Structure 1
Amino acid sequence: MRAAIIGGGWAGLSAAVELAKAGVRVTVFEAAKQLGGRARSVEVQGQQLDNGQHILVGAYRETLRLMQEVGADPERLLRRLPLELSFPASQPLPFHLRLPRLPAPWHLACGLLAARGVRLSEKISAVRFMRWLKVAAYRIGEDCTVTTLLDRHHQHGSLRRHLWEPLCLAALNTPPAQASAQIFVNTLRDSLGSGRAATDLLLPAADLDRLFPAAAANFIRARGGEIHLSARVDAIDTGPGIRGESFDHVIVAAGPQHAAALLARHEATIASAQLLAEYTFEPIGTVYGGYPQQVRLPLPMLGLYDRAGGQVGQWVFDRGALCGTAGVMAFVLSGHGAWEALDNAALAALLHHQLAVTLDRRLPAMLWFQVIRERRATFRCRPNLRRLSARTDLAGCWLAGDYVCAEYPATLEAAVRSGVAAAREILLSESLPVARRAYASGGNSAPQFPRHG
């Protein structure tokens, strides 16, 4: 059996790995010069950095499984830390929350009750909120915005500003006033509402290429697969076929806008193309700042000073603590905001000021900076957003991508899950034993949260 995968991002590579493992001859067509899609490495100032600072968590079970499958050891490539959120410059008091290494649900209850810079009434209200979600089986009824959900359950004050709203923006890359409450609750179910290890932060200690794409490519090639870079696919022929080659199955693992263009060419998938064409998107900005090597953060990840709601960046990461690139800071800017109108120099200067105020000290000037703007980084995860399934109405054509994984927002784990699901549906349709065993064992039941970004 032969299968073509259009798109060499994490969804496409996950599908290719799962198929290659089952003995299917796979061919990956990637339009760019490198693999990884929106989670790829770039060279900046002679260093391998990432096009966006990504965060994984312990709940990324499918991602961790596939990393191990292709020989990318998560224990070596990811730094596991307890969930710790710190906003040292928040007003009126610095905010700090750290989940202790206790069995669930005590880790969450004790972490909330021990949080600093939070009133006792807020802590009790947060515990009640999580308890209500659990009793309701994490189903809220009619979907609404995250803002509406938080208002309904009296989540206000410091925990709202420093826990619920930042987690929403990190997981869904959509402002709480526009974000789907049900999708947000799904992420809470599989992180804060799950086992203790699921809440751990897994911060990359290597560039994104080494985390999965490079090892996945080696795995695919070792099993007879082919990978074509700079190979844009403009049409899927009936059969199905790609660029004159015939395949038994084709998986479209491109972004929603690119998938829509391919699906619009066939009468059977016009409705799917129209649905995807209605998607709107949110940007993500990453600003790398190079400081003298002695500049360090007290924690690998810090919440940035918020100027009374006028923040530009939300988080800063110490790449020296994570990857050994001393003095390199990665600032994350999620969703639409004032930062989009700033030129690169002004943006870097403002973030430098934010960091100095956050740390409450003078900082030496940046030696260099690099701004990366992903203008369509993720789809906007709004309430009641219609999602497609892996199977399309075009014979032999399937979909993979974070927008296909209906229960979750646009994250690496959602992309991986979608690729695995598409591959297993193909194998099941061909009655291959590996697919039957995978479904029987619940092998694709992994939860996830959050994106970073």
Structure 2
Amino acid sequence: MNISNTHVAVIGGGCAGLSTAMALIEKGFQVTVFESSSQLGGRARTVLVENNSLMHLLDNGQHILLGAYRETLKLLQKVGVEEDKAFMRVPLQINLQTAPMKTIFSLKSANYLPSPLNILVGLIACKGISISELISAIKFMLHLRRIRFQITGDKVLEDYLLEQNQPIKLIEMLWEPLCLAALNTPIAFASTQIFLNVLKDSFSNDSLTTRKKNSDFLLPRSDLSKIIANPIAHYLQVNGADIKLNRRIRQLEIDGDGFSLTTRDGKAYFSHVVIAAPAARLDTLIESIPKLQNVYKQTQEYSYQPIYTIYLQYPPEFKLEKVMYGLSGTLGQWVFDRGQLCDQKGLLAVIISAIGKHQKLSQDDLALRIAKELHHVFPDMPKPLWHKVIAEKRATFSCLPNLARPTNKTLQPRLYLAGDYTYADYPATIEGAVRSGLACANLIAND
């Protein structure tokens, strides 16, 4: 390929689009990124919220990265993000709380040991389960290692766990919270194989992660725009990429061997196109591309899962004992102390993943319900000063068994798809989006 004659349009400035653009720039290609909104980052972005004439920066959702997200971490390292400053690295831990201040389940990996011993020792020291339940969990983990985390024929995760003799309590306390955190899909219809893929990456110990355990949680110490979107955008611009914000693609057309893109600025020609927009937006982008209509029909059958983040501001002197807790018997599932994470003193973020009855409540009623739940679990809490609910109603695709997912390379020459929905081995995660972008860049380089 003659790189000098190659100009790639990347449609979408989320993690998939940014990783695509960065990999292409590194390979010497000319790249233009089109983002329909005023901000890069997609779901991993920051929003500005006003309260009593004061402005607050809040993440669009409280994200958790894993130590296994090797491509994301490599990408951030390239653009100058120092991991120790950007993230709080916490060994895998689940602390399920119920009222009042009672820990009903506690698991923490032994981070001083290599995998899988760190998890096995963590299970042995686990609180809240019986000896028989402990033995069942250890047998299951050893079984997964033996089968290399691969099953014959995908199936619903809940059914698979029951087939493997996992006790109901263990499913509720361990596997269900992990499934919601990893797949954002209820265990009753989540994909077993995709869940096992995440477990495999999390519990492996390759040469790149001898010191840094794959199962660690990486909790952002700052807003996500500062950690992800802004550093990558700066890298792209310094290295010659063109980033166009507020540029919705009005029409994408085949034009000779390449494509014409129409925006409010008019029409421009590109030799290659990478569509890195969400699957739900494909309809308007590919309606004039006959060879992509099968992809359109495929993705239109997807169902989606919401993520609600309820921010509650307490007096600045208030803080939780730990930076994060799981919650049991409540609408809220996880609570994070952003005072300890981001120096936003007194600010808590409560996460509710997947579909549920919380969606029927108004935002004010939901915040009030969550505040009451927290006060019930942590009785010494004061009353919140203000709240903000951020609802991503189509945050992720439902990660179902045997879900048909398109490949990065399409039937239309020189047109590619990037996005977490195209990375078939993973659920809807930042890592899946990044890996899809890298795959597209490699395909174009070999075109």
Distance 2:446 2:185 in 1: 35
- Following superposition, the deviation at residue 100 of structure 1 comes to 1.2
- Tell me whether 1:40 sits opposite 2:29 in the alignment: no
Stretch deviating more after TM superposition (81-90 or 342-351): 81-90
Match of 1:120 in 2: 131
Instruction: Within 5 Å, give how 1:387-426 maps onto structure 2.
Output: 387-426=405-444
**TM-score normalised by L of structure 1:** 0.91
- Tell me whether 1:30 sits opposite 2:35 in the alignment: yes
Among candidates 75, 100, 108, match of residue 84 of structure 2: 75
- Following superposition, the deviation at residue 266 of structure 1 comes to 1.3
Contact 2:93 2:107 in 1 (8 A): yes
Contact 1:56 1:202 in 2 (8 A): yes
2:202 maps to amino acid? S
Contact 1:264 1:274 in 2 (8 A): no
Unaligned runs of 5+ in 2: 1-5, 207-211
- Tell me whether 1:253 sits opposite 2:276 in the alignment: yes
Among candidates 212, 230, 240, match of residue 214 of structure 1: 230
**TM-score normalised by L of structure 2:** 0.92
2:161 maps to amino acid? L
Query: Structure 1, residues 90-119: CA drift from partner, whole Å, max 9, x if none?
Result: 799621111112112210110001000111
- Tell me whether 1:367 sits opposite 2:372 in the alignment: no
Q: What SS does the aligned partner of 1:198 have?
A: coil
- Tell me whether 1:358 sits opposite 2:377 in the alignment: yes
Distance 1:295 1:167 in 2: 28
Shift in alpha-carbon separation, 1:90–1:104, aligned structure 2, 3 A: farther
Q: What SS does the aligned partner of 1:373 have?
A: strand
Distance 2:312 2:341 in 1: 15
Among candidates 109, 113, 119, match of residue 108 of structure 1: 119
Match of 1:305 in 2: 328
Distance 2:174 2:11 in 1: 38
- Tell me whether 1:383 sits opposite 2:401 in the alignment: yes
Shift in alpha-carbon separation, 1:148–1:194, aligned structure 2, 3 A: farther
2:436 maps to amino acid? S
Distance 2:398 2:168 in 1: 26
Query: Structure 1, residues 204-226: CA drift from partner, whole Å, max 9, x if none?
Result: 00100011110111111111111
Unaligned runs of 5+ in 1: 430-453
Query: Structure 1, residues 278-308: CA drift from partner, whole Å, max 9, x if none?
Result: 11111110011100012211111101231xx
Contact 1:130 1:193 in 2 (8 A): no
- Following superposition, the deviation at residue 29 of structure 1 comes to 0.4
Match of 2:352 in 1: 333
2:122 maps to amino acid? G
Among candidates 45, 51, 62, match of residue 53 of structure 1: 62
- Following superposition, the deviation at residue 263 of structure 1 comes to 2.2
Contact 1:294 1:327 in 2 (8 A): yes
Distance 2:235 2:223 in 1: 18
Match of 1:451 in 2: none
Stretch deviating more after TM superposition (416-425 or 92-101): 92-101
Among candidates 212, 220, 227, match of residue 243 of structure 2: 227
Distance 1:253 1:421 in 2: 12
Contact 1:117 1:158 in 2 (8 A): no
- Give the strand-richer structure, 1 or 2: 2
Distance 1:100 1:19 in 2: 40
Q: What SS does the aligned partner of 1:94 have?
A: strand
Query: Structure 1, residues 404-430: CA drift from partner, whole Å, max 9, x if none?
Result: 00011000100111111111111122x
